[in-house]
Amino acid sequence: MKIVSLVPSASEILCDLGLNKQLVGVSHECNYPPSLSNLTPVTSSNINSYETQREIDNSVRAKVNENLPLYEINTDKINTLAPDIIITQGVCDVCAISNDQVEVMLKGQLCTIPSSTNVISLNGRSFDGICQDIIMLGDHFNRKERSKRIVENAIVKKENMHNMQKHEIRVLCLEWIDPFFSAGHWVPEQIEMAGFISAIGKPGDQSRVITIDEIYESQPDVIAVICCGYNKDKNETFAQDLFKDHRINNLAPFTNNKVYAFDSDAFFSRPTLRILEGAQQLRQTIL
């Protein structure tokens, strides 16, 4: 069986399930585990990642308004690979190739893959949803016991965190800083796992633009910079930029030096069980 994964989280889960050898193609963003670098990338981005956050946000909005794709699928490569299964996602059109785009591109005239090729969409928007996706893939690829063990171990880790002491510390996680975006989906849940209070957003909420007034009204004790898709070094640069932002740099997190940066690409942006490690990092860093 040959599998093409168009989603970093799916690639990671498939490797956890021991399906490395079945993977024949991945997205250009699939970078974990490192062995994925040996596989053929079948996608590319229409957004210049070297632009500023404001420029990227404007580019995304312009393409969405014009109904233009944010990502390209290399149908020639996929035709050559002739996968039996293609895995995509339905969580966020900005973060990765969506199921709708796959259906249009790969079931249309641009691609000659067999009609028997199955397209599977992952839709985990919470810890439970991620676990359900893992179980679903385990069932589909005859890895039921392995997927069950992975989920059971994750549940134990989550319960252990749940039993830790809670703190009345209000944490604002910023998924983007120009414009400001709140963090959505599983991130407020990560804050709660860590034993803190989410200053803006509840588990399951969508990420959204937030105003300066909202940031003030949320009364954060801590700001965590987890700009979507960026590593820790880049987010540390963004955190330093925030200290220069006179609109908010008189808030308590700045005066108390409680602004922290994290590797969002690894531990916050992707719906995988590494969100548990992200929650642990939040707790260890803030306390």
Rg (alpha carbons) of the chain, rounded to whole number? 20
CB count in 10 Å sphere of residue 260: 20
Selected residue with higher pLDDT from 90 and 139: 139
pLDDT computed for residue 71 by the predictor: 85
The pLDDT tens digits for 55-76 are 999 998 998 888 887 888 888 8
**Segment (H or E) for 232:** helix 232-243
Mean pLDDT score, 247-255: 97
Distance CA 112, CA 9 (A): 26
Distance CA 210, CA 198 (A): 14
Distances (CA, A) of 260 to 146, 163, 235, 268: 36, 24, 9, 14
Q: Give the pairing type, strands 40-41 and 170-177.
A: unpaired
Distance CA 110, CA 72 (A): 12
Q: Residue 221: pLDDT band by 50, 70, 90 thresholds?
A: very high
Residue ranges and CATH numbers for the domains of the chain are: 3-123 (3.40.50.1980), 165-286 (3.40.50.1980)
pLDDT computed for residue 97 by the predictor: 57
- Predicted TM-score (pTM) of the model is 0.92
The answer to whether residues 167 and 46 touch, using CB atoms and an 8 Å cutoff, is no
Mean pLDDT score, 237-258: 97
Cα atoms found within 13 Å of the Cα of residue 264, Cβ hemisphere only: 25
Mean pLDDT score, 162-180: 97
Q: Residue 220: which of 268, 263, 193, 255 has the closest Cα?
A: 255
Q: Where are the beta strands (DSSP E) in 102-261?
A: 118-122, 170-177, 180-182, 197-198, 222-225, 259-261
The answer to whether residues 239 and 231 touch, using CB atoms and an 8 Å cutoff, is no
The answer to whether residues 266 and 32 touch, using CB atoms and an 8 Å cutoff, is yes
Mean pLDDT score, 74-89: 89
Selected residue with higher pLDDT from 66 and 127: 127
The pLDDT tens digits for 181-210 are 999 999 999 999 999 999 999 999 999 999
- Lowest mean pLDDT segment, chosen from 4-8, 70-74, 131-135: 70-74
Mean pLDDT score, 127-142: 97
% of the chain beyond a pLDDT of 90: 78
pLDDT computed for residue 64 by the predictor: 83
| CB-neighbour burial class of residue 246 (10 A; exposed 0-12, middle 13-18, buried 19+) | exposed
